[in-house]
Amino acid sequence: MQSTFSKAISRLTSFWRKKGRQTDAKQNKEDDGSSHNEPVTPQEEEREPPSSSLQEDHKSSRKSSSSSYHPHDLKSMPQLIANIVDQHATNNPEKIFASIPFDNDDLSQGFRDITYLDLRKAVDKAAYWIEQTLGVPPKNTHSPDQQADGSSDSKFPTFAFYGGRDLRYSIFVIAAMKTGYKMLSPSLLCAMDAHVYLVKETDCHNLLCVPSTVPLVEEIIAQFQEPQAEKDSPSPYTISNTIVPELLDILPIEKTQEEEDRYYPYNKRWDEACHDPCLIIHTSGSTGMPKIIYYTQRMLANPLFQSLQPPINDQPPLVNEWHGRIFTTVPPFHLLGYAGFLVCPIYFNCVGVMAPPGRLIDANLADEMHRYARLDGGMYHPSLLQDLVRDEHKRQELGKLKVIFYSGSPLETTTGQWLASNFGTVRNLLGSTESFGWPVARVIDPVNDWNYIHFYPTNGLHFEPVGLEGAKDAKKSGKENDENDELYELIVRRTPETETLTNIFLSRPHLTEWPTRDLWKPHSDPAKKGHWLYRGRTDDLVVLSGEIKMYAASLEDKISSAHPLIRTALIGGNQRKWPFLLLELVDSATASPSSATLDDIWSRLEEINNRYTHGSVRLHRSLVLVVDKSRPFVRLAKGSVARNPTYALYKQDIDDLYAAMEK
């Protein structure tokens, strides 16, 4: 029996061979460039009926140690991003790639649609500008003996881009592909030592920036000019910065023959360039220095490979729901930003809709986007969804969307339940920077299981128990105590399937196994096998004195839902006898809540407290601190709380709590 995986790959190969024999115009004859483009996915071109038994097909694939398809044999496979842009610009120039506000201060003025012809001209202008400013790199043909992750490939020199919240991130990374550079995309929220580390570790000597990020870039450069920075190397680290052209200077306002003649040719094929490094991103660095990941063109196409999976339990791949006009709230320097403003528009025909670059994306701005941007869906960090749902008028506008993705961290329970029960459109898009998402399908029951991930039975994805303290006791007692249920860490092992459907072993070619440090809980319904609930990271385990493991994230979620004034809860206390609790209140709360309000909050916490079996993990009122509004929780780019930096911010306050309690 041919495995489900092999069938998917066969369809992929057949589709792209067929695509090569067709013209782009014929493929898009139904596409009028409107705001409701349906994704042109391989399934629409050529679809085989799903297997009658996905589990049996999966078992069959495990029996054979070989595969008819090797993940690195990619001839006749997808087209490269730059080639797709060029083809659309030629054959379907009015096809829409993105949409930006006409007036950043007044969204009621509408949105300007950026076509693929606009995009190609902007990319080509940026490519010529890069060559004129940074020079022409060596012949950039990737050698088979070079690292597949691009980390040691000197033929693709690095430049860093510190931009604003606009399309120049997408434009410059495609220009990097065309010119033979790779682009470092640092988070603007990094600490200074992390910025220096990223620049040095990627051998980056050219920092491109916009006027608003000049102070940051100059501070980075200053770190290399200090005497202590030179001691680590035999000679000073040469580094310079250059301001890039403004967005409206490279996006064509009027179509002229002069601009048409400035075409920058790119003639590489997939098999020649799929392993070319083009983008450098990094993890959040919440527990130390950020981990650097070199993305190749093949790795950016990973969602397309995942989309070729057949339906499972009659549910399609989740990535195929990414279509229409999608508002992405994640910063463009983040991997999910590249998904929303580059990869998904290119491969799934959605339109990336961008908020005004100079304004903070809070609930008020998101509500304006919902009212004026003609949206079909959006990608949000959970805290923003929570703020939107708490406002009666804003949540009604939010509910008009066809699909609501969230990612970055678990969504607060009452928020998710309200969205799911009223609209059934909320989707959990949790993934990883290293993998660019997992091979997952839509959940069977989007109303009741909105917070679950429906994994394909991929050979090589394993869930291993972590041995949570209290799990056995809770099971024996039969007491309702889901906080102490056993949790499992997702482990990725190298197989032909994980090599193709994840990026783990493309970015880490030397590994045979990779622990994700993500914790999951299986669905209790046997009919929903493959449905897993994300519970957090191994870093979310608080180990109290006596080696008692407390899973903080679960309790934090319940506390955040316990009272309308609580925005976020954060628990800590490693190697302490008892845990502490930090509470961040909503913006509408007063700076100094009354005693009656605090009593009301504590009464709700006591109700949750009573569900625990171990007295040592109970919360004590004397170890609860409502944080100062002038010192909000430290958050990552994706919106989740940076646990360790927030602990550090309140270290003295926490020490004072324990000192007072011990008296």
Flag whether 281 is in a domain: no
Flag whether 41 is in a domain: no
Can you give the pLDDT at residue 19? 41
Flag whether 161 is in a domain: no
Chain segment 342-391, per-residue pLDDT in tens: 999 999 999 999 999 989 999 999 999 999 999 999 999 998 999 999 99
Chain segment 542-554, per-residue pLDDT in tens: 888 777 777 888 7
CB atoms within 10 A of CB 576: 16
Flag whether 209 is in a domain: no
DSSP state of 310: P
Tell me the pLDDT band of 453, cut-offs 50, 70 and 90. Answer: very high
Tell me the pLDDT band of 189, cut-offs 50, 70 and 90. Answer: confident
Q: What is the mean pLDDT of the chain?
A: 82
CA distance 336 to 342: 10
CA distance 599 to 565: 13
Tell me how many domains the chain contains: 1
Chain segment 272-314, per-residue pLDDT in tens: 999 999 999 998 876 678 899 999 999 999 999 999 899 999 9
Q: CB-based contacts of 372: which residues, under 8 Å, 6+ apart? A: 107, 108, 110, 111
For residues 68 and 559, the model is more confident at 559
Handedness of CA 212, 217, 220, 225 (dihedral sign): negative
pLDDT of 425 higher than 60: yes
CA distance 659 to 663: 7
**Alpha-carbon Rg of the chain, whole angstroms?**
25
Please report which residue ranges of 99-167 form alpha helices under DSSP H: 116-134
For residues 655 and 39, the model is more confident at 655
CA distance 553 to 555: 6
Q: What is the DSSP track for 485-541?
A: S--EEEEEE--HHHHHH-SHHHH-TT-SEEEEEEEEEE-S-GGGTTEEEEEEEGGGE
For residues 638 and 538, the model is more confident at 538
Secondary structure class of 46 (helix, strand, coil) = coil
Can you give the pLDDT at residue 141? 47
Flag whether 273 is in a domain: no
- Quickly count helices (H) and strands (E) in the chain: 28, 24
For residues 94 and 78, the model is more confident at 94
Crossing angle of the two packed helices 4-20 and 54-63, in degrees rounded to 10: 90
CB atoms within 10 A of CB 246: 13
On whether the pTM is more than 0.85, the answer is no
Average pLDDT over residues 25-29: 39
CA distance 339 to 88: 19
User: Are the C-beta atoms of residues 101 and 166 closer than 8 Å to each other?
Assistant: no
Flag whether 328 is in a domain: no
Tell me the pLDDT band of 640, cut-offs 50, 70 and 90. Answer: confident
Flag whether 646 is in a domain: yes
The domain of 608 spans 542-662
Domain CATH number, residue 580:
3.30.300.30
Flag whether 591 is in a domain: yes
307 — phi, psi (to 5°)? -70, -15
Chain segment 141-153, per-residue pLDDT in tens: 444 444 455 454 5
Q: What is the DSSP track for 55-95?
A: HHHHHHHHH-S--S--TT--TT-PPPHHHHHHHHHHH-TT-
CA distance 256 to 260: 7
